[in-house]
Structure 1
Amino acid sequence: MALRFLPSSLLGLLLCTTVIAAGSPGNSSWNRPVPISSYQLTGPSGSTAPEKCPPCFNCQLPRFACGQYGECNEYDGQCKCPSGWGGIDCLVPQCDSLADGDQRRLREDGKSCECKEGWGGINCNVCQTNQACAAFPLIGGSPVENDEEVDPEDMRCYKGGETVFNNHQMCNVTNRKIIDQVGADRAVQVTFSCDRTDETCSFQFWVAEVESFYCALDQCQSSSTPEYNTNVTTYACEHIKCRCIPGRFICGEDGSVNIDDFLKEEIQGPATFSCKNNECKFEEPAMNDLISEIFADPYITLDCSGGECLHFSQVPGYIRPPKPDNTRWVALSAAGAGLIVLLTSATLWYAGRASGGEFGSIRLPDDEQARLMNDHVPATLHFSNLSYTLGSRVLLDNVSGTIKPGQVCAIMGASGAGKSTFLDILARKAKRGQVAGTTYVNGREVANAEFKAVTGFVDQEDTLMSTLTVYETVLYSALLRLPRDMSLEAKKFRTLETMNELGILGIKDSRIGASGHRSISGGEKRRVSIACELVTSPSILFLDEPTSGLDSYNAFNVVESLVSLARDYNRTVIFTIHQPRSNIVALFDQLVLLAAGKLVYSGEFAKCQAYFAEIGQPCPAGFNIADFLIDLTVHAGMDERSNSTDDSSTIEPSSPSDEVANLGDEERGLRRHQTPAVPLATRSRVGSASPENEETELRTRSASAYIKHKTSQLLEAVSLNSGKRQNAAPLAPKLAALVEAYAASSVARQIREEAEILQRASAGVDSGAGQLPDVAVETSLLRGRKRASFGTQFRILSGRAFKNLYRDPALLMAHYLSSIGLALICGLFFHNVTNDISGFQNRLGLFFFTLALFGFSCLSSLGLFANERILFIRERANGYYSTFTYFSSKVLFDILPLRVVPPIMFGGIVYGLVGLVPTVASFWKFMLILVLFNLTTAVVVLFLSIAIASTSVAGLAGTLVMLFNLMFTGLLINRESVPVAFRWLHTISFFHAAFEALAVNELRYLHLTETKYGVELDVPAAVILSTFGLHAQSFWWPNTVLLGIFFTVLTAASFLTLHFFVKEKR
């Protein structure tokens, strides 16, 4: 018995092992041998096999089932698995390729399949290349005559999406919430396959390449809807049944959630699987509800790639629909561009015609015309010991004085005496050096902001906007700086009144003009500059050389108007002047005389002649006192060595009066033979020789001796002046004597006493011991007057910018005409691009050319701010407006007409002519990128023009920036070929962001068809995009977002640079 039982037991174990071993590489879905394990094994007594023997698999038993709803053999209880599945229960994926049939290997536990070349998917069912299908057995009968052998090169991997016989697809789940729930490190995937003959489909859900559940669908019908660029494929199945794999994800893995009951009871159908351009979705009512409730998505979204091996004659015949007719697009685009041009031209014409209407009659309420002139605080300006040092050089030393309301103070001195420097310091202008000393307004020190609120300053050089008229220039100053509660009519009246005072009312409608396009004279421009400050009727008015460039008559009129302003309206007027006429000198109330930065005189002008007579320097009778004082300070400042005699060639005056007389002769031009090339310090030495002596010298000396003599004089002068600059030599004795004489005079003592009184009074206010009599008035002075609000400033500056734009329309018209002309040229050469490789190239070339066009055309903006840099600096320093309002108006009137309209015109014309994707969404995306790119490039150029003062350097920098961005556009250098350490250069290139966005918008869903050597190749354009290093899903992020970030950041950087670094420094 024992001997008989033992062989039976061993036989049972052997048979069970055979059954288990059925999951070998030879196991397949067809030609499966009948396993011996289906027979019942018993011992001699009829008992079953030992308990240690595992139960044999039998799909006929309730305990076992065939995975993937495989067919169960009723004779042997074994499973017939679908293609791509193996193992005893059809739950193990097969590897290699679908073409290997029953020779495929099973996937090892915990590993991924290594598919053969040209095949992909979790179970290697999806063909990827035509070469992969070369060895695939034909399905559906032989397509060749006489049963000839099929040429492997005739096989195709059909990826159109439509099922011909058996189609397989590999998909990635794209629902964001599902991916987040599972974890980004675990891929969520779906495999989907259909059999057209059986009208069945199968669906498997995978997590980290481990199957969770599977479904079988029947009564399935497929349909394909061809569109111009792609196919829309839909599978509609009436019934669906699903089953969990026990112990897998969402099927009870580690005691987690198990949806097996839900799948069996709720999932019934119908179900649909539809795809467009590899973007697919799987829908079933109960499953949609589950997805919606848990993951907030309407259905499962997928990104799929499918394939089916067919003979080329079996590929579904697909006739591409005719390309849409673009005639309507072309007509509408051209009409839109023409309409924009017409509207712009009409607007500019109307604005030009209507601009003169605002200068009509002015009616003021009673007494309002005098309100501005009378409603102010008289200001006494006292300055004490003002000094200015630049490096080691003392340019101004201990200057003191007092100017009262109703007085005109003239600051005089020779060229280089320090007049303009002293005026800048009095006016609180920003200086590069160190300023010392104090200034008082009505007896107390005043902060810079409060001081500038009640003062005006007229520069020596005129900085006016050339396209404005005289009236508009002065009116804008009034509108921006006069009190906001003052009526518009009163401001216009004040403007006309000021122009009448300065004698420029007759040219009010004349434009200022620029170099080469002159309208008014230089003297008239000077008076316009003065009017811009005079119109505000400031308490204190500073002017730097107000008579510069004017003839004697107009110079007198200007000074007379300043004197009238001071005396009639109790203003304080201070200006520098250089050798005025005697009738102008007679109008002065106060005089400050400087020489080499030293104070020679400061006090009442009426007393200066008597003062100089007292110190032994009387002005000759009938001599202009201004000329006398200038000559006196110039020659007093000469070095002693320049006044010494040698060889009787120099004559030393015997007395100060004689010296002054001689100086007067020199100014009248009596010393005609003086060599002008010799510096001032040696002119007396060279020029004191008489004409007769010069002629005798020329007769008796040889030419070489004469030249040697003159050269030695020149070298001595150069050496003398160089030594003065390097060693900071002390003052010339005569000039030092003049300075000391004034410091010890009663005039200087009176000024010092006034300063001490003011300082004590100011200290009393600070300590609370007392108050100055006019403290209430001073408080009103310090409060200032509220000028135009930000909104008013922006409106006025915008109007001025618009007038400047339409009155000089050359740049505007150049942009518009070039956009239209180049759009037509592009439409001619790129007309109706084809959907092949050459069409792909033409599209990229068009995009590259378009970006280069708008990128380099933005360099025209360099001059827009450069031409107004000095104007902005001075107007802001004089309190016209804030940086923000100027910058806002500047950006607005550069962006709208020059940077938004041209790309719209260009895009509207070129889009239809070229034949780009004819969809509304794609069209407006194209326009969005063009406009956003042009704005970004414009602010790059704006930033360069603000940050770099030199237009030439800014132009070079702008060109280099454009070329750098062009290099990394993505067309010239493939991103993947750039070293990883330098790929960030593509990220910071706004050209790359725009180029990639345009390419993706046009080519993402496009299929290219190319016929070579009789073979038709159908390639998705996205594949070629990736070959170029471009990402097919990067339209909004990062490209469009990056362009927006570039525009925002560079706009902010431009404003901050303008506000903090573009400032007046004198």
Structure 2
Amino acid sequence: MVESTSIHFPSILQQQRPLELVFRGVSVTLDKKKILHDVSGVVRPGEVLAVMGPSGCGKTTLLNALSGRIKIDSGSIRLNRENICKRLRKKICYVLQQDIFFPDLTLRQTLVYTALLRLPDSLSYADKIQHVDHIIDVLDLRRCQDTIIGDVLKRGLSGGEKKRANIACELLTNPSLMLLDEPTSGLDSYSAYSLMSKLKKYAEKERKTVVVTVHQPSSQIFYMFDKLLLLCNGQTAYFGDVKKVVDFFNDIGLPVTPHYNPADFILEQVKGSEEIKEKILAASKDARKLPDYPEELISDCVSATVNLCDKYIHNFDDRCHTNAKDEDDSGRSSWSDDTQSHASSTVSGTEDDGSWQWPTCFWTQFKVLSQRNFQEARPRMLSKLNWVQTVGLGLLAGLLWFQLERKEESLHDIQGWMFFSTTYWMLFALFGALASFPSEREVINKERLSGAYRLSAYYLAKMVGELPLTITLPTVYLLISYPMLGFHSPVVFLTLLGFLLLNTVVAQSVGFFVGASCMDLEVSITISALYTLATQLFGGYLATNIPSWLKWMQYLSMVHYAYQNMQIVEFSDGSPIQCSTTSKFTACKTNSHIPVQDILEAQGATLPLWANTLILLLFLLVFRVLGYVVLRYFRRPK
């Protein structure tokens, strides 16, 4: 049964201590607005702290501060006496309120890829898969493991299953401290209770420190929590045992109505009149003077002599070591921590240079991300609609330009097929990359914040993983339409295909760059439309007599180079084009066939095949590098 399940980690992953979280006097200002003021609390291993309060009181801001994602104005946040740093952040998991996933991957695929990326290389593949299976059982996800995640357009996991899947992704790393933002939001009462009961049992059995924000829990869920931190206008309205909160309100003249959900009652009070709020906040400050108030939060310890504080911290650290020893003796363990340094940072939120290590090497990240990108993009890029569209368009183009004769009268039609093929697949690839970026960016930002992999590994893997999918449909289109036009040279076909695919990949690179640069999809579509329309106008087919002062713009058109290359190949290596009786080419006065150079000059071509190819490769390189630079330096997740 799930209730009796405990996680047994491989022996190489043992000997990490449980974490005691102590935050004292935390104040945070965002956009010149005071969000949190003098908020304190302590959570020990095996305990669950609930952070409650009305909307806008600073619950999520507090989690962001505790996770080290935002800087605090004053106060301290300590894990086993150390300030938050990069090394300690590896022991923290932060489950966001939004369930951000790739919708086309199944639950099991999502967990397997997360395990392969975030569990250390010292673990074998079999150990990682075994751990995935166990997490699936712990959170009761076995029945839906082969269901896609889904989104608003595709039916997949239910709301409760997505919440558990979100938590499962973080539990894979076996964190010592778990921060969960509104894990029960959007769930029915049964799903919420089931989820919280599993978290409660997990925290107790594995000695995890858990902090959750909740808005309005049921009474059953409310009494699952060990401690409660009630926020009012960004200040501490109550901190202490959940079972004592009713007495706290009774003592200040705000008795809880019998048979009334205490969670609903206290939220109504902190959303009441300013007089009641001030009364609660004053009582909360007075409670800090009581004997049972946690000694870790008493400010006198900080203002006392250094020797007294060192003695207290030493005793606290001994207690943590004892807990860790008991944890090992009980057969429960965590991921190994090869750096058990006790050197603390001088400022909360600072990062220890050189202390961060990626969980996996670059090659592992690249390999796993390539596989995941292929699996995630395949349903989107090779959807049934795209297949129907490609086959239908190939047949339509083949029928429209069916069995063209190699005559001057057909020259414009041959060039029309080339230009249409080039521009269509440019638009298809560019806007396809553009449309996929907003949803994918949310997942990537979430994973980058968790330190799962290098950005360079993701970016290179995206290019490699999606390459087979990018070239599949243009290849099928050319296989259908080109033979119907009456062209039979395999060498010419393969060369034309090569330039068509190169142009498609270049267009995809432009889509990556624009998608990474623009946060607003409408803006990115507008910019892309302007660029693609301009590159068509100056491609060399729609307009050949370009004014001299606009001539330079054709050199920025990727279609121009691909289209000219296709002409060079087709008219040089294919059958010659016969002159008409009233030819516009002067060479036809002495020749029966139109020279290739004359055809190219009429289209405004001035560069040889190798130069056009080199420029296309430069387009590819420049836009790929620009996309990476934008993601690396201008679109870093916050």
**Fold-level similarity (TM above 0.5):** yes
More strand per residue:
1
Aligned to 1:1000: 568
Q: State the SS of the aligned residue for 2:581.
A: strand
1:785 is displaced (CA, Å) by 8.0
Distance 1:755 1:791 in 2: 51
Same amino acid, percent of matched pairs: 28
CA contact (8 A) 1:381 1:403 kept: yes
1:445 to 62, 83, 93: 83
1:631 aligns to 2:268 (yes or no): yes
Q: Which runs of 5+ in 1 are unaligned?
A: 1-366, 641-655, 657-731
CA contact (8 A) 1:406 1:568 kept: yes
Q: State the SS of the aligned residue for 1:1009.
A: coil
1:535 to 172, 176, 192: 172
Structure 1 residues 831 and 784: CA distance shift in structure 2, 3 A: closer
Distance 1:944 1:760 in 2: 58
1:845 to 416, 441, 448: 416
Distance 1:385 1:589 in 2: 21
1:26-45 equivalences under 5 Å are: none
1:548 is displaced (CA, Å) by 1.8
1:1025 to 570, 581, 600: 600
Which letter does structure 2 place at the counterpart of 1:1059?
A: R
Structure 1 residues 924 and 550: CA distance shift in structure 2, 3 A: closer
CA contact (8 A) 2:42 2:297 kept: no
1:412 is displaced (CA, Å) by 0.9
1:874-893 equivalences under 5 Å are: 874-893=446-465
1:995 is displaced (CA, Å) by 1.7
Aligned to 1:788: 360
Distance 1:835 1:624 in 2: 85
Structure 1 residues 369 and 750: CA distance shift in structure 2, 3 A: closer
Structure 1 residues 1028 and 802: CA distance shift in structure 2, 3 A: closer
1:745 is displaced (CA, Å) by 5.1
Distance 1:848 1:762 in 2: 80
1:382 aligns to 2:22 (yes or no): yes
CA contact (8 A) 1:502 1:557 kept: no
Which letter does structure 1 place at the counterpart of 2:298?
A: E
More helix per residue:
2
Structure 1 residues 749 and 802: CA distance shift in structure 2, 3 A: closer
Structure 1 residues 1060 and 907: CA distance shift in structure 2, 3 A: same
Aligned to 1:864: 436
Structure 1 residues 468 and 1025: CA distance shift in structure 2, 3 A: closer
1:566 aligns to 2:211 (yes or no): no
Q: After superposition, what is the alpha-carbon deviation per residue over 1:927-974, rounded to whole angstroms, capped at 9, x for unaligned?
A: 221111111011111222222233333223222211010111122333
Aligned to 2:301: 756
1:1046-1057 equivalences under 5 Å are: 1046-1057=619-630
Distance 2:299 2:45 in 1: 16
1:829 aligns to 2:400 (yes or no): yes
CA contact (8 A) 2:51 2:228 kept: yes
Q: After superposition, what is the alpha-carbon deviation per residue over 1:708-760, rounded to whole angstroms, capped at 9, x for unaligned?
A: xxxxxxxxxxxxxxxxxxxxxxxx64455345444555566834337836997
Distance 2:567 2:608 in 1: 10
Distance 1:997 1:452 in 2: 53
1:955 aligns to 2:593 (yes or no): no
Aligned to 1:938: 508
Which letter does structure 1 place at the counterpart of 2:556?
A: I
1:1055 is displaced (CA, Å) by 1.9
Distance 1:985 1:762 in 2: 73
CA contact (8 A) 1:384 1:438 kept: yes
Aligned to 2:334: none
Aligned to 1:215: none
1:442 is displaced (CA, Å) by 0.9
Structure 1 residues 786 and 902: CA distance shift in structure 2, 3 A: closer
1:905 aligns to 2:465 (yes or no): no
Q: After superposition, what is the alpha-carbon deviation per residue over 1:170-229, rounded to whole angstroms, capped at 9, x for unaligned?
A: xxxxxxxxxxxxxxxxxxxxxxxxxxxxxxxxxxxxxxxxxxxxxxxxxxxxxxxxxxxx
Aligned to 2:631: 1058
Which letter does structure 2 place at the counterpart of 1:480?
A: L
Scaled by the length of structure 2, the TM-score of the pair is: 0.83
Q: State the SS of the aligned residue for 2:580.
A: strand
Scaled by the length of structure 1, the TM-score of the pair is: 0.51
- State the structure with more CA Rg: 1
Structure 1 residues 516 and 1024: CA distance shift in structure 2, 3 A: closer
**Which has the bigger relative contact order, CA under 8 A and spacing at least 6?**
2
Structure 1 residues 1060 and 562: CA distance shift in structure 2, 3 A: same
Distance 1:481 1:507 in 2: 23
2:547 to 958, 978, 998: 978
CA contact (8 A) 1:369 1:493 kept: no
Structure 1 residues 530 and 508: CA distance shift in structure 2, 3 A: same
1:774 is displaced (CA, Å) by 7.9
Name which of structure 1's ranges 841-850 and 486-495 shifts more when overlaid on structure 2: 486-495
Which letter does structure 1 place at the counterpart of 2:225?
A: F
1:541 is displaced (CA, Å) by 0.5
Distance 1:450 1:624 in 2: 41
Aligned to 2:467: 895
Structure 1 residues 877 and 370: CA distance shift in structure 2, 3 A: same
Q: Which runs of 5+ in 2 are unaligned?
A: 1-6, 325-336, 343-354
What root-mean-square deviation, in Å, do the aligned CA atoms of Structure 1 and Structure 2 show? Answer: 3.4
1:845 is displaced (CA, Å) by 1.5
Aligned to 2:331: none
1:89-168 equivalences under 5 Å are: none
Aligned to 1:307: none
Q: After superposition, what is the alpha-carbon deviation per residue over 1:214-271, rounded to whole angstroms, capped at 9, x for unaligned?
A: xxxxxxxxxxxxxxxxxxxxxxxxxxxxxxxxxxxxxxxxxxxxxxxxxxxxxxxxxx
1:549 aligns to 2:121 (yes or no): no
Distance 1:763 1:887 in 2: 52
2:39 to 399, 402, 416: 399
Q: After superposition, what is the alpha-carbon deviation per residue over 1:773-817, rounded to whole angstroms, capped at 9, x for unaligned?
A: 5899994278788623322223333333333344x3674444444
CA contact (8 A) 2:374 2:466 kept: no
1:496 is displaced (CA, Å) by 2.8
Q: After superposition, what is the alpha-carbon deviation per residue over 1:911-938, rounded to whole angstroms, capped at 9, x for unaligned?
A: 4443459473x44432221111111011
Structure 1 residues 1049 and 479: CA distance shift in structure 2, 3 A: same
CA contact (8 A) 1:406 1:569 kept: yes
1:1036 is displaced (CA, Å) by 0.9
1:583 is displaced (CA, Å) by 2.7
1:220-259 equivalences under 5 Å are: none
Aligned to 1:1045: 618
Q: State the SS of the aligned residue for 2:174.
A: coil
Structure 1 residues 380 and 742: CA distance shift in structure 2, 3 A: same
1:1009 to 579, 585, 591: 579
Distance 2:30 2:206 in 1: 38
Q: State the SS of the aligned residue for 1:868.
A: helix
CA contact (8 A) 2:237 2:284 kept: yes
Aligned to 1:522: 159
Structure 1 residues 527 and 496: CA distance shift in structure 2, 3 A: same
Distance 1:462 1:565 in 2: 21
CA contact (8 A) 1:1004 1:1022 kept: no
Aligned to 1:690: none
Distance 2:406 2:133 in 1: 69
1:217-366 equivalences under 5 Å are: none
Which letter does structure 2 place at the counterpart of 1:846?
A: W
Distance 1:755 1:866 in 2: 50
Distance 2:204 2:616 in 1: 60
